[in-house]
Amino acid sequence: MGQVLEVPWKPALHFFDFPRKEFIPPLVEYAFSASPVESSTSVQLMSFTLEGLIRAHVARRVNPVDDDPISEVQHAYQRWLYIQSGPQGERLPWAQRGGPFATRFAQPDGWLVGNDALVSRQDPPLETVRVLEEFARTGVVRRGERSVARGGAVVPRAALAAVWSNEAAGAFAAAVGIASLTHGNPDDYLPAGFMAALVHQQIRDVPFSECLEAARGELERWPGHERTSQMIRNALELNKEVWSPAPPGQLAERFPGGGADGAEALGISLYCALASDYVREALLLAMNYSSQHRSATCAISGLIIGAECGVNAIPKELRQVPSLYPLMDELVTDALTEFSPAAPTDASWTRRYPAW
């Protein structure tokens, strides 16, 4: 992300633990790079997820019976896999990457596959790649605990399903379905559903407390929600009981894994968003509290506070950091266009987002 500065960024609080009369070391400030940095796998997969949702909505307009975006998002993930390098550094043929989609479509289509910025320059998450490679071989999604992929990285990308449905329940279910394509544990896919329901309400200008209660209500309808519900309670209790921002040690007592799975990453991220009124501060908290899993916690907390405050609340320097920001901005603009009452019907739009 850039240079690390060992200075407190809230010196007035000085992180003094009043009950124990103990001085807590200050949090670390992160100076963001002045120039764009390479895109992460998480951002790339978020981009393909949103493209899949747009294409699914185009298909739904053509055929209203098609009310499930999961197949289109799976197709999008296979296109992402296709543009990544194979074991020897080469790009494998679409026939080996597309799975069942390669039998229906001679080549990967849409506009994202031609963008080199979406090719990972870093090692992509091996477990997620293995899941997609297995689907390419077998055409079968490994459901439930049989899926080997774990972690909170799936939460922010699947939470983009917030735009899919007019109902929070529909957004929740779509997010669960998307997350389950790669992550089969409820402690990963249910946090994604919660986030989709939360953001679904936020972007409709519902007061945040009501957004939270609506999302928690949807979560509790699903089997296996207990750990995710507990992590949310931990975040709310910590925000209520401890002077903000909480010393890292106190946060670690509630979240000892530092965001190791989706439920814990959600809990830490929710606390960060609650403890700060500013995007930059929420992200700095997430980076300090979750050193090993900060990519996921930063993305989730940024999604929460960004949905609450709007794009203009994101500092300009943060928008300039990701090399994919122009592409992401274009995708978001297209999503707003497609999910509007006056969605395009011209041939250029369906070439850009084919309805199949």
Residue type, 242: V
CA–CA separation, 196 and 125 (whole Å): 23
* Share above pLDDT 90 across residues of the chain, in percent, rounded to a whole number: 62
CA–CA separation, 334 and 182 (whole Å): 26
CB 112 within 8 A of CB 47: yes
pLDDT of residue 12: 31
CB 17 within 8 A of CB 96: no
Res. 75 pLDDT band, cuts 50 70 90: very high
pLDDT of residue 1: 36
Q: What average pLDDT score do residues 306-327 get?
A: 80
CA–CA separation, 351 and 355 (whole Å): 9
CA–CA separation, 9 and 48 (whole Å): 35
Left (φ > 0), alpha (ψ -120 to 50) or beta: where does 258 sit?
left
CA–CA separation, 274 and 223 (whole Å): 27
CB 315 within 8 A of CB 283: no
Query: Which of helix, strand or coil describes residue 5?
Result: strand
Q: What average pLDDT score do residues 289-305 get?
A: 91
Q: DSSP E strands: which ranges in the chain?
A: 4-5, 16-17, 22-23, 29-30
pLDDT of residue 47: 94
229: pLDDT strictly greater than 90: yes
Q: What average pLDDT score do residues 251-267 get?
A: 96
pLDDT of residue 10: 38
CA–CA separation, 189 and 18 (whole Å): 38
CA–CA separation, 27 and 301 (whole Å): 17
Beta pairing, strands 4-5 & 22-23: unpaired
The answer to whether the Cα torsion of 217, 219, 223, 228 is positive or negative is: negative
Res. 7 pLDDT band, cuts 50 70 90: very low
Left (φ > 0), alpha (ψ -120 to 50) or beta: where does 215 sit?
alpha
Query: Which of helix, strand or coil describes residue 127?
Result: helix
Phi, psi of 258 (to 5 degrees): 65, 25
Beta bridge partners of 30: 4
The label of the residue with tokens 């940024």 reads: 302
Task: Name the strand (E) or helix (H) holding 40.
Answer: none
pLDDT 10s digits, 83-129: 987 766 778 999 999 999 999 999 999 999 988 778 876 677 889 99
pLDDT of residue 16: 34
pLDDT of residue 57: 96
Q: State the Cα angle at 312 between 309 and 313, rounded to 5°.
A: 50
HSE-up (13 A, CA, CB side) for residue 36: 12
Name the token pair of 257: 């894994």
Query: Which of helix, strand or coil describes residue 20?
Result: coil
Beta pairing, strands 16-17 & 29-30: unpaired
Mean pLDDT in the chain? 86
CB 70 within 8 A of CB 177: yes
pLDDT 10s digits, 197-221: 999 999 999 999 999 999 999 999 9
